[in-house]
Chains A and B, each alone.
Chain A
Amino acid sequence: MDVRILAKPRSGWRVPPNMPDYEAARASFSWEAAERALAGLPGGRGLNMAHEAVERHCLEGRGDHPALLWRGRRGERKVFTYAELSASTSRFAHVLAGLGVQPGERVFSLMGRIPELYLTALGTLKHRAVFCPLFSAFGPEPVRARLELGEGRVLVTTSALYRKKVASLRDSLPHLRHVLLVDEGGEPGTEALHDLLARAPDTYEIGPTSPEDMALLHFTSGTTGMPKGAIHVHRAVLVHYVTGRLALDLHPEDVFWCTADPGWVMGTSYGILSPLTHGVRSVVDEADFDAERWYRLLEEERVTVWYTAPTAVRMLMKAGDELPRRFDLSALRFIASVGEPLNPEAVLWAQRVLGLPIHDTWWQTETGGIMVSNYATLAIKPGSMGRPLPGVEAAIVRRQPGGGVRVLEAPGLEGELALRSGWPSMFRGYLYDEERYHKCFAGGWYLSGDLAWKDEDGYFWFVGRSDDVIKSMGHLIGPFEVESVLLEHPAVAEAAVIGRPDFLIGEVVKAFVSLKDGYAPDEALRRELLALARTRLGAVVAPKELEFQSSLPRTRSGKILRRLLKARELGLSEGDVSTLETPT
């Protein structure tokens, strides 16, 4: 295979890299030793994410250092220091205490990237409640399903989102006792967050926190069934810290920008926690993607380390090579990406146009943090996700009949990417779904569901998913959740949803629908179904394309063959169709 390798210099770094030698770091790494870099709660009261992210910096005399550099949609700019973040998150923790919220109960957020989102996350962790972020772009159905499954006790949101997506669901959510609105709101059945914050004290002593206490609940999707709530514990902060240091090469004076929304795990692990554990300045942009705005923001905030996603990189490429030349991007030192594999052209484009390569990283909601990565000092093979983080053992395996796995040691063999179980940010369960959790493990390995191979130098290469989950703009979308909504329409007999490969966003959610007798497959109905899906699911989950078919292919046992629809879509051979039901 012809691979262009981007070698790394051995000297001349602007800032000495945290990991000068990957092999040496890997050989000597231990999680026990790494944990000594964390502060721990004073008096040996345990380990709490919010203490590591905020309080320790205040106790260590860095309270005046900027923590969040917030940029509003309409050009506003606000800076929050670590001391300010400490005070406001303490107020939030007191608000939860005043509402009777107990440690372990779930506090959900549903809002854009506004300062209140960050108070909610960190204040919830301080109170030892569990933070569960929802995408503001979710429609009412994903919001309902997640609040119900997660038994959300408190929801923090805006009046507009509440009216649009939650108000009509209140009766079906008995666990949801308090809805706190971040604006004046005044909707019935809600409380004004800022009134409560104003009355609350600005210091809060974090109670004893076991490193194994539940801290975060992140929903993700599988092929079948409704979303799964992946449980993360306070100990995961060790991985947030270590990966910030080794994979993102964070130094205390860095300005870091993670472009992801905290509605998905990247935006929480790296948009909130990891940078704050390093005491750096973390940029938050409320606005949606816009190429010129992004370059301007990199220039104005003097961003040094930038963590973004392939879809965004490819949109920047589309915007042309001339645009970035109008901006001073000289502060930028390190660029990384996650979400779906970054194509080699994107890595090389960045090297050519921005003067820096992009370091792809691989991880999942279940892993809690970066597990396989490219590093500042390690040569990049463009298109590869890189090598395992020190402290993480990764392998290519094949599942065996009877439940075990066989590790494929020889390079070049395709199999499932697996991680030796037990790393600190490993998910500790799917909420109320022990069975699905256990299915993720075999023979001491976590099985990621991603197909990959390993080359002779130990670099891993992504091939595809082993299931029908769709990866679009870096988000996982479960086909079942989408199909369920389409099937609610009286005209729909069958629905199957696949990911159609797309250069820009990885995969486009595409629905195939067959109709009941008496309905005609016309443009008006096509739009009606798309509208239904968008209204119920929101833009990030709803199909972008919908095609009518007279019937959908099924196995003899009646299961719809999404893989066959996908193969047809790609013009590939349909493989073994012997188990197909012949249409009558």
Chain B
Amino acid sequence: MNRDELKQAVLDSLAAVAPEMNAAELRQDEPLREQLDLDSFDFLQALVELDRKLSVSIPESDYGRLTTLEACVDYLAGRLGEQVH
């Protein structure tokens, strides 16, 4: 899975909890929760969704690293341990 596909998976997971989201307006390096008005529960739900979509287990202690869209893609790329381009 390349970075674009990972990014799309993150966006799809976010859209499941924040369907009003406009993906085009999302800034890559700004905190997601602030931009999308996600509370703690929304954020957890989005990560659970991501977990389900990618079959990648994300330990709760890593949640703090998934702050921005960019950080999510970086983290997932590392986690999936695949060559990404």
Contacts and interface: CB of A to CB of B under 8 A. Distances in A.
A505 B37 contact: no
Interface stretch (A182-190, A192-200, A452-460, A528-536): A528-536
B45 to A, nearest CB: 7
B52 interface: no
A544 B40 contact: no
B37 A292 contact: no
Contacts of B41: 311, 473, 504-505, 508, 544
Contacts of B40: 288-289, 311, 315, 473, 505
A534 B63 contact: no
Contact of B61 (A292, A473, A504, A508): A292
A531 B63 contact: no
A247 to B, nearest CB: 26
Interface in A375-414: none
A292 to B, nearest CB: 5
Interface stretch (A52-60, A84-92, A238-246, A318-326): A318-326
Contacts of A530: 19-20
A473 B41 CA distance: 9
A168 to B, nearest CB: 16
Interface string B14-26: 0101111000000
Nearest to A504: B41
Contacts of B37: 137, 139, 534, 538-539
B5 interface: no
A291 interface: yes
Contact of B19 (A319, A322, A534): A534
Contacts of B19: 527-528, 530-531, 534
A352 interface: no
A293 interface: yes
Interface residues of A, number: 31
Contacts of B63: 290-291, 319
Contact of B60 (A73, A318, A505, A539): A318
B49 to A, nearest CB: 13
Contacts of B42: 539, 544
B33 interface: yes
A350 interface: no
Given A504-B41, A539-B38, A291 B61 contact: yes
B64 interface: yes
A419 to B, nearest CB: 31
A194 B58 CA distance: 43
A290 B38 CA distance: 13
B61 A288 contact: no
Nearest to A112: B34
Contact of A137 (B20, B39, B45): B39
Contacts of B17: 544
Contacts of B20: 530-532, 534-535
A528 B61 CA distance: 33
Nearest to A534: B20
A540 interface: yes
A4 to B, nearest CB: 27
Contacts of B44: 315, 504
Nearest to B16: A527
B40 to A, nearest CB: 5
A323 B63 CA distance: 12
B39 A473 contact: yes
Interface string A436-456: 000000000000000000000
B23 to A, nearest CB: 13
Interface string A70-94: 0001000000000000000000000
B55 to A, nearest CB: 20
Interface centre among B38, B39, B44 (most CB of A within 10 A): B39
A320 B59 CA distance: 10
A422 to B, nearest CB: 37
Interface in A43-73: 73
Contacts of B15: 527
A319 B31 contact: no
A291 B64 contact: yes
Contacts of A291: 60-61, 63-64
B18 A323 contact: no
Interface string A516-560: 000000000001101110110011100010000000000000000
Contacts of B31: 73
A358 to B, nearest CB: 18
B27 to A, nearest CB: 12
Contacts of A319: 60-61, 63
Given A527-B19, A531-B19, A535-B20, A292 B64 contact: yes
Contact of B64 (A139, A290, A473): A290
Interface string A300-341: 000000000001000100111011000000000000000000
B64 A288 contact: no
Contacts of A139: 37
Given A527-B19, A531-B19, A320 B61 contact: yes
Interface string A268-304: 0000000000000000000011111100000000000
Contacts of A539: 37-39, 42
23 contacts: A137-B39, A288-B33, A288-B39, A291-B61, A292-B61, A293-B64, A315-B40, A318-B60, A320-B60, A323-B61, A473-B40, A473-B41, A504-B44, A527-B15, A527-B19, A530-B19, A530-B20, A531-B19, A531-B20, A534-B18, A534-B19, A534-B37, A539-B38
Interface of B: 15, 17-20, 31, 33, 37-42, 44-45, 60-61, 63-64
Given A315-B40, A320-B61, 6 more contacts: A473-B40, A505-B41, A528-B19, A534-B19, A544-B42, A544-B45
